[in-house]
Chain A
């Protein structure tokens, strides 16, 4: 039976951990920021702006890093690390 390519894409999409994807995207942009500031920036103002993006993005990356890819889950049954 022929599988519809769109449903195959939807299936692959559903299997992706979106939090980890966000983590990868944010980390990539963060690394790109650092490389850009080091190698190409010729303006102090632009360097400051990019550095500010790094500052506000870095803590958020650490939230996505812990994401399980689920939108909701039965939280109260989980063991909390204290």
Chain B
């Protein structure tokens, strides 16, 4: 019996080199004869000149084009239009891929075989990991890839065992009948999470496999990474409305896991406050215990929240790589705060695509305004604390011999810790931009 499978590739204003890379990879699928495959390029915004080039490329590689008449409902709108209006009626499986996720030749066959397995008869979706082909390009691509690995090989895998992992926007196969019946949510810019909430509420079973079946492109510039992180964090808070409206239909673990995805971005608030809070100690004491206790406590909180990734196995990460991942993520603290504020104020955020084409950030400082502000604040605090408690030989000797240190010495320790974190962010972000610039010069 022949299975009808359709690959859907939604795209909006993507570089032509990325489009051709994708088309070429799709054409190389190796099938054993039991699958009838069609590939759909779901165009979502393109000018006439680009459209003509894409049409020529599509004809060259045997790709079909689905172009909706109006641009409603973000990315989900393009997918829904194709599924409801263009796709063949007897389609059994849909495979959704982002334009940068070039499939390996065995992808379609492996996924259809998985869906045909006896244990997957009741499974509606199977996801597979996003792996970045360009992960060694710079600290930003490395961070993005490490976080994806952590997400798929730990977070998503563990959650899928309790059927509470949501289907991300790319790298999955799903049953067409189910998606036709319950289409994508078009109201959210993070439509994958919003749709999954509804799918879970309607009884969907979502699984994950570890086969790396496509090679993606991680965001490689400051702007593209920040655009992606802002979209995700804004969407996560926005999707709280979908969670509350489907709350009663979800299982306990689905509620817990959707909430944890949304509250994760809140970590920006205590992280920033933990770094600046020593400043208030100049006016009043903050603890009735040993002064070291709050320092240790807040450092432990930041560490255990940020560094569980240290236990990543295969490939094992070095301490340096783990630190790099954590501090590059801190580049987006201001965006997490901003997305929270936007949602509270009801301010809309339009869909911004993470540009995968290489672009040097000419003004990296502008994107690092929060780390710079934190460095400035804590530096003033350190200077004032040093003035109050000058590092005289007696003070240093007392500290070495275990004599109780004066209050301001503790403040200095605390502020140094904060600066260490923030300087890490500034260093790695500038380093990425430099490495990136060098890469481009070579190309020229």
Contacts and interface: CB of A to CB of B under 8 A. Distances in A.
B300 interface: yes
Interface in B294-326: 294, 297-298, 300-301, 304-305, 308, 311-314
B287 A41 contact: yes
Nearest to B274: A49
Contacts of A48: 273
Contacts of B263: 55-56, 59
Interface residues of A, number: 46
A21 B307 CA distance: 12
Given A49-B270, A75-B207, A62 B301 contact: no
Given A18-B311, A56-B266, A73-B210, A33 B158 contact: no
Contacts of B427: none
Contacts, number: 156
Interface stretch (B254-262, B374-382, B436-444): B254-262
Interface string A44-60: 01101110110111011
A26 B256 CA distance: 17
A11 interface: no
Nearest to B273: A49
Query: Taking each of A45, A68, A75, which has the highest tally of chain B beta carbons within 10 Å of its own beta carbon?
Result: A75
Given A72-B153, A74-B210, A29 B119 contact: no
Contacts of A62: 256, 260
B114 interface: yes
A26 B76 CA distance: 37
Contacts of B289: 36, 39-40
A51 to B, nearest CB: 9
A72 B286 contact: no
A33 B300 CA distance: 10
Contacts of A56: 263-264, 266-267, 270, 305
A58 B188 CA distance: 26
Interface stretch (B13-21, B160-168, B392-400): B160-168
A34 to B, nearest CB: 11
Nearest to B264: A56
**Chain B interface residue number, banded:** 35 or more
Nearest to A78: B161
B348 interface: no
Contacts of B294: 36, 40-41, 46
A81 B257 contact: no
B365 to A, nearest CB: 28
A79 B280 CA distance: 53
B205 A64 contact: no
B134 interface: no
B31 interface: no
B269 interface: yes
Contact of A64 (B120, B157, B300, B308): B308
A46 B163 contact: no
Given A18-B313, A45-B286, A59-B260, A75 B157 contact: yes
Given A59-B256, A63-B260, A66-B161, A53 B270 contact: yes
Given A40-B287, A40-B288, A57-B301, A76 B114 contact: yes
A42 B290 CA distance: 12
B257 A63 contact: yes
Contact of B163 (A21, A49, A81): A81
B286 A77 contact: no
A22 B304 contact: yes
A71 B149 CA distance: 9
Nearest to A52: B270
Given A49-B273, A66-B161, A76-B114, A25 B304 contact: yes
A29 B305 CA distance: 10
B159 interface: yes
Given A29-B304, A77-B119, 10 more contacts: A39-B289, A42-B285, A46-B286, A52-B269, A56-B264, A60-B260, A67-B154, A80-B160, A81-B162, A82-B205
17 contacts: A18-B313, A26-B305, A29-B300, A32-B297, A41-B294, A45-B286, A56-B263, A57-B301, A60-B260, A60-B305, A63-B155, A71-B153, A75-B157, A75-B209, A80-B123, A80-B160, A80-B162
